[in-house]
Amino acid sequence: MPLRILVVIICSFMMSCSTEKSADLQLTNSKRIVDAQPLGLRLFDNGEEEDSLVEGDGDSIELESDGKITEKDKETGQKQDAKKWVRNKKDTNVAQVRVGNDEFLELKSVRTLVSVEGIRTRTVVDHVFHNSYERTLEGDFRYKLPDNASICYFAFYPEGFVSKDSDKEVALPSLPTAAQIHRKKIEDYFAEEESNFGKAKIAHAVPRQKALQAYEAVVRRGVDPALVEWAGGNVFITRVFPLQANQYYRIVIGYEQTLIDVEDVITYQFSCADVDSDFMLVADKSYIESSQMNVATPASESDEFVSYQTRVRNKNVVFRANLTQKFITSQDEKQGITYSYGYVSPQFSSPQYNSRSKRAIFLLDTSLSQEKQEFGMYVALLEKILERNRDIEEFNVLFFDVSSGWLQDGWIANSPVGLALFRDKTQVMHLEGATDVTQALQHMVDTPWLNEQNANVDVFFLSNGQHNWGELSLRKSMAKFRQKLQFSPHFFCYNLGLGTANTVLFDLLNEFGGGSFSSTMQLDELAVAHRRSTLFVENIYGEGISDLVTAGSVKVLYPGQRILLAGKITGNEARITITGRIGTQRKSFVFTVPTKSSGSLAPRAFGELVVRKMESLEDPALEETIVAYARYFSIPGKTCSLLMLESQEDYQEFNVNLQKDSQKIENTMVKQVLENIDASLEKSISSPKNSFMYFWETLKDNELVKLNPQNVEELLSLLDDTHFTFSPQKLRYDFSSQKEGASENFLFYIKKAQSYDAKRNLSGYLRAVSSIVELKSQESSALRVAGYLLLKEQVASHAVSIFTRVRDKRPFEPQVYRDLAKSYAALEKYHIAALYYEILISGTWNERFRQINSIAQEEYAHILRKITQETRESFFQKRLQSIAEKTTQHNDITVTITWTTNDTDVDLWVIEPSGEKCYYENKNTRSGGQISDDVTQGYGPERYALKKAAAGEYKIKVNYFRSNEARISDITFVETTITTHSGSRDARTRSFYTMLTSSKEETHIDTLKW
């Protein structure tokens, strides 16, 4: 029986066996532990780690003690206070360097240096990896950050180190003294430290497209770059090159993190790798009093700090401290500005529970990511909500991933029978696929029995909200949902601490009414939290503190909820005032903010909050400001990556200015910028054409792309929203899909997708394909594989979405415009296909893409012939005449291949009826067959053309000559397009999509009989 099913069965059994609660909705005693713990929950005392209740479960959920640290706690090491949900951090802080499909460098040693300033921490993790392979490699250094964290520093020591004693492993420097790192910049400390690895190169924040192009260009020269890219959620991938054979390499990554306090206690956790690790933590006494660590006692202490240090292996290190300040305040030395950052929590009583809707909908995420996000916890919460809220008379559950489906059609009574129906479904539930929130919301408004005029319904959103399929613009999704919405929903979202919750989505859902809740509550309390009285926030302003910015939108607060905010100190005294109302009562809350500067972490915390807030608004007009903040405070993410090049000259070549614009930061009042966002954002949301126009204007301004825009602009003037609009295929939710276990290897899902008959089970096919995206949502090569798999089965509507994401990441590569043109052509949206062909042929691209223009023109001519059969528009007539003059008019046979992996060499072979093989060493055959130049970089294309074909069989093959030389192994997907009678109205085209896995692999594609 699969582990997932076992978890849910036992969870359901334990729930059903729990003592029946009374319906008076009183909170459980704060000293009691919830009585119905689903499997995967375990007690956690004093930070010590226990074996999971499920064998092999490295990602379970703990119930962690909260409350103040007392002297008795220190003596006994035990706590008896209320318990809350906290995630075991075993899946964070795990570092690996992948150099092939399943090949990794060996991690040899780790050193960790932690600075704690109140609710904010900085963690610097120092790694040594060994390349034991007999070749130079490029590696993907993958690192998953804990919740509420962002990368602030990356350094690579490119010289490598060869140990003189083969039996002795290379070690990192010893731990410093606490005074050496207390309140010190990372780069300053490492600059002073002696190392066997030579001098470090430090990465700088650069706009992501420019960073990506510069990195790849420098790699092709064989020198030493590195690139830190956001990979979705809280995962970052760093590409480093070169990794010389049999050498040791040092990689340092630093991140800052905001901790959540529970009753003035902060908890910091770090999962140590399964190698010997030196660990040091220094806590600033300006913000804390008593503290403790589960694996060490204080090593040193002064008036300014307390430090801990230890040597550990495969341990979860836990540090706790009592806060004296909820704000941190420190000065940016370069600007002279003092920043403050922290939480406020308006305290108001809510002794009674409000009556809510008698109908409830549960949106339950069944995507692949929930396998690690503990789907069972959401199941437990759903059952507890139904149990503790007996005035919910009817409910239903909408299960969703890339598709969605109701538990049953119509409302279900909140009764043992209804609950049993839900349990029966979840016992056989298979978690797979990507997360598509957009289609789940649309499913709701397309359901007649739910979407009734003015009906009040409470909607419980049980997902971390990491939306990564379909329409990715959350604001567009909400606008589309609002257009068709007839019932009145109140959305309640839950951040259970199970992963990186998408608070941007939570904020957008809460705009319909409702609220968001965190894992700091007990399960019983969490189940009824939505019924508490709320504070409707009307205004937040400061005195002695300016430019106040909050994390997310703050409109409604429930008792105990916090507001995370930051600002600039302008006076000797500072206060923040929150005004609002509870029912008809006016309320005002005043919070004093410390103005004395201590430590160094507040400025970047302010910058991080600003960048994340602006990125969430999806407004192109904000990009310049976002880039300025991301570069100044070194914040990688959606807008910027961290780039490390060989020399100052390399940065200059790619027009990367490393001088950070502090003046832009000083002169920008963020609050005012946010309040004055142009209405053009709403315009782009409501109009598909306007949405494209934002991309087009950005592309024209992109210094990485050289375009002649005249024909594109003329064509755009002929198009309206109807040309851009199409409807994705509707999917049936499959409750009975194949029940294999989940995998983190995307090859597993490629093979699984290929095992489906997509015409009979499109939902199952898309769940498998989209799992590739769920695993690698920001990796262009994986996205291309998913796109080709979708085109293979003629699921072009979803392919458009995938290739649009690649377009936005890599607009400087012409291949993606061809992919989009072919996808729109498959949808018979020929005008938009023409638009993308026009962009492609109007560009001057890198020399390694030199052959794509001529091939694109031949394909474009075919599209133009289709358009001119339907319209007499002079533009298309003129363009057909112009393009046809430049292309070969008639070929009996044309074969074109392209592939998904950059810097890879795939060869096209065509064996003619005579037995002669046309390929890169025999480009011209006796029968007149010709093959284009051999492409060894980029994605192709290579093309075979034969003007007059002799009768017989033409065997078409591809040879995977070489994967990326810097990788041990890489899969690539090849698209083979076979066209007969090209250049005429009788032209016919077939496409084949083939996966290649091994170098020198020869694969037969098709035999064409003439």
How far from each other are the two terminal CA atoms of the chain, in whole angstroms? 53
How far, in Å, CA of 228 to CA of 206, rounded?
Answer: 10
CA distances 596 to 69, 338, 548, 574, 593, Å, are: 26, 9, 18, 10, 9
Q: Pick from 530, 576, 573, 525: which is nearest to 549 by CA?
A: 576
Q: In what order do the strands lie in the sheet with 535-543?
A: 556-557, 535-543, 574-582, 585-593
User: Residue type for 908, please?
Assistant: L
How far, in Å, CA of 422 to CA of 440, rounded?
Answer: 18
Question: What are the residues whose beta carbons fall under 8 Å from the beta carbon of 608, sequence distance 6 or more?
Answer: 150, 256, 633, 635
Place of tokens 């825009």: 709
User: Residue type for 190, please?
Assistant: F
SS3 assignment, position 779: coil
Question: Can you give the pLDDT at residue 57?
Answer: 32
Q: Pick from 249, 220, 240: which is nearest to 137 by CA?
A: 240
- What sign does the dihedral 555-559-564-566 (CA atoms) show? positive
Question: Can you give the pLDDT at residue 755?
Answer: 84
CA angle 217, 223, 224 (to 5 degrees): 100
CA dihedral 970, 975, 976, 979 (to 10 degrees): -160
Length of the chain: 1010
Question: Can you give the pLDDT at residue 818?
Answer: 93
Structural domains in the chain, sorted by start: 3-88 (no CATH), 89-326 (2.60.40.1730), 359-531 (3.40.50.410), 687-880 (1.25.40.10), 888-1010 (2.60.120)
Instruction: Report the relative pairing of strands 359-365 and 456-462 from DSSP bridges.
Output: parallel
How far, in Å, CA of 119 to CA of 681, rounded?
Answer: 34
Question: What are the pLDDT digits (tens) for 463-473?
Answer: 988 888 988 88
DSSP 616: H
User: Cα Rg for the chain, rounded, in angstroms?
Assistant: 30
CA angle 600, 606, 611 (to 5 degrees): 135
Question: Can you give the pLDDT at residue 363?
Answer: 97
Q: Which residues of the chain have pLDDT under 70?
A: 1-93, 101, 162-169, 233, 350-352, 371-373, 497-499, 520, 676-686, 736-744, 888-889, 936, 963-970
